[in-house]
A and B are shown apart, each in its own frame.
Chain A
Amino acid sequence: SCPLSSRCCAPSSPAPAMNCRAEVLEVSVEGRQVEEAMLAVLHTVLLHRSTGKFHYKKEGTYSIGTVGTQDVDCDFIDFAYVRVSSEELDRALRKAVGEFKDALRGSGSDGMGQISLEFYQKKKSRWPFSDECIPWELWTIKVNVVNLANEQERQICREKVGEKLCEKIINIVEVMNRHEYLPKMPTQSEVDNVFDTSLKDVQPYLYKISYQITDSLGTSVTTTMRRLIKDTLAL
């Protein structure tokens, strides 16, 4: 499947660009925990990387809407997380994670893959080149799916994965707290180059989600890569 992006543009190169901050998290989960674990991490990141909707006013100033939050309990993990109250965003993430999970399950891999959340900025280029996407933050979650034999192991896994996710959340918050590069607040004309304005209740930074599955041969099949080639050829 294709990477889910908030705006269509030429896919950025698979490797993070020069000044892009990259963070990698690793989790080992059981098959049915994949979705919730991914959602927990992605939502936590997006919670920090979303603002209320901007309302530009005449004088070049803007006001910001309010971001609501809600708690989500996980069914298969002893864990709860906070996400922004935006059904659209939740749907988008669930779709991406669902595809990831299917790919993990179906590709015949031994259950290893990674899902990436990349925040980028668009830079308008002159014709004939399409807009460039410059990533400034990349979160990669490496997943290792384990198979458990009995209910007892599953119970232990529930707790352990819950604890692991707690650690991951703390890690994420640490990174966020570094207050490193964030795109400047844009003017009204530029806002679409920085934020995803398609949602009606929140405004996350432009992001795209991609994933790759490591098949049993150890080679990684990058779906983004494939698309890049396709698009370049189509151009």
Chain B
Amino acid sequence: FFLFQTVQVIVQARLGEKICTRSSSSPTGSDWFNLAIKDIPEVTHEAKKALAGQLPAVGRSMCVEISLKTSEGDSMELEIWCLEMNEKCDKEIKVSYTVYNRLSLLLKSLLAITRVTPAYRLSRKQGHEYVILYRIYFGEVQLSGLGEGFQTVRVGTVGTPVGTITLSCAYRINLAFMSTRQFERTPPIMGIIIDHFVDRPYPSSSPMHPCNYRAGEDNGAVYPSVEDSQEVCTTSFSTSPPSQCVFTVTKAHFQTPPPVVTDTLKVPVMGLAFSHQLSSSRLSYQPAALGVGSADMGYPVLFAGGLNAAHPHQLIGPGKEGGVPPVPSQPAHGAQADQERMCTPLDGVHYSAATPSSSEDTETVSNSSEGKCGSPHDLLETIFIRKVGAFVNKPINQVTMANLDIPFAMFAPKNVELEDNDPMVNPPESPETESPLQGSLHSEGSSGSSTGNTHDDFVMIDFKPAFSKDDILPMDLGTFYREFQNPPQLSSLSIDIGAQSMAEDLDSLPEKLAVHEKNVKEFDAFVETLQ
């Protein structure tokens, strides 16, 4: 019953109206916990459906997801309220009415907190432009759609003789919402789910398992589909400093031979990283592969960067015996426009948490799966060559630079900045973030080609397709980046000069023009020296 009341409170808080209930001095039978909470039958019905007669237990939490849907059809997850149960039993609480009172207190806290998160204000304003929807599901908590930097607030915990109930809310901070139309999004691929994982330790006790994303649980409310992630991606991309995006892009380059990459969409997805943390997006197919894979990995968080070659196989591997089944479907997706690439190959982005223990898991799994994934591997590669030329280890790379542009096509104006920020972003971050992963990579040594990792220079990875040594650019990535970085500066420099001449020309045309014409050669020489 508590569950139902909780759900009622949450949903009612998001209805957009002010709630007013009366106190009555004499109790009425239906008021649980002595709180006058109206019962909206539909809500109870949904909750019952979701719970299907079960009660929360470890790994099975009841979650209410609040999302926003605009009149254009874009939607975005705003909050996830989770009610979890863990094993910590409070044996001291013997009196059931203490528990009852505490639950009542928890509901009151919930009332208070539901008014405090950003979604409340949004829900009060809902109407023409957007509506707020809810979805109740039971099972693993899915915090992935909340974008970067989401915060968690714990409403309260109550210990009971059978376990401890924790009620918390994870809400999105990044409320900047951009229409996805500008990115020529192709229709979402059903079954492709993009999960965003951040390696932030969650303060709440929710077990963060990136699996079992239940498509079927949807009770009619908006479902965070690929659209959501994309929006999230784009939004975050636009709001987050380019460095983050770049950072993740380069991380993606660390992908194994099958250039996982980062499809353009992946880039922004990665862009969801916290400023000093890496996040990776994991693409996975419908529950099956995804769920199993991650379950095997047993990590709550994906960690971008330094992934070893085996990763692409990992997700496919566990549970799918080498991942052959998903592979064939890739070409289908591969044929699609940029954004779609996130599909499968990105499974490889299944990064292990940056802990040695999990990397060991990764290792074993990757080892086992790698062997099996031999052929799909190539298949992936070929596919990628077509799509993500820049990241392929094949000679199509003469368009390296150009190809780099392609994946970033949707971020075209930001290309330069992206690249520019690369070295700036990565070096400082690589030591802290890369080293554990690098270390794990080394220890794994699994992905054959991926062993080219070095700790200090994040870019020095052999298998990195576009920047690999044997390819177009006969230089190491560091030099490459430095080189690449220069041209924009130069062009801006000459532009300045040009601007100057323009300004001066405007001021006093004839003489200045003559003077400048004389000096042109000097300017050119100057520019030459800079190069």
Chain A contacts to B: CB under 8 angstroms: 44, 47-48, 51-53, 55, 63-71, 73, 78, 80-82, 84-86, 166, 169-170, 172-174, 176-177, 179, 200-202
Contact = CB atoms under 8 A, between A and B. Distances in A.
B121 A78 contact: yes
Interface string B100-118: 0010111011011101110
Given A52-B34, A55-B27, A173-B156, A69 B21 contact: yes
A177 B25 contact: no
B106 to A, nearest CB: 8
A171 to B, nearest CB: 10
A66 B36 contact: yes
B154 interface: yes
Contact of B120 (A44, A80, A177): A80
A181 to B, nearest CB: 13
Interface of B: 18-28, 31, 34-36, 102, 104-106, 108-109, 111-113, 115-117, 120-121, 124, 153-158
B24 A69 contact: no
A32 B120 CA distance: 24
Given A66-B36, A68-B36, A169 B116 contact: yes
B112 A44 contact: yes
B27 A85 contact: no
A174 B102 CA distance: 13
B155 A177 contact: yes
Highest count of chain A CB atoms <10 Å: which of B20, B31, B108, B158: B108
Given A48-B105, A85-B21, A65 B26 contact: yes
A81 B121 CA distance: 11
Nearest to B100: A64
- The prevalent SS among residues of B at the interface is mixed
- The prevalent SS among residues of A at the interface is mixed
A48 B34 CA distance: 12
8 contacts: A48-B109, A51-B34, A51-B104, A66-B36, A67-B36, A81-B112, A177-B155, A177-B156
Contacts of B27: 52, 55, 63-66
A65 B113 contact: no
Highest count of chain B CB atoms <10 Å: which of A70, A166, A177: A177
B224 to A, nearest CB: 25
Contacts of A70: 18-21
B23 A66 contact: yes
Given A66-B27, A67-B34, A179-B102, 12 more contacts: A48-B108, A52-B34, A63-B27, A65-B23, A69-B19, A82-B19, A169-B115, A170-B153, A177-B155, A179-B105, A201-B23, A201-B24
A176 B109 contact: yes
Contacts of A65: 23-27, 34
Nearest to B95: A185
Contacts of B104: 51
A66 B26 CA distance: 7
B23 A176 contact: no
Contacts of A78: 121
Contacts of A44: 112
A81 B20 CA distance: 12
A173 B113 contact: yes
A69 B34 contact: no
Contacts of A67: 23, 34-36
A177 B109 CA distance: 8
A177 B157 contact: yes
Contacts of B115: 71, 80-82, 169
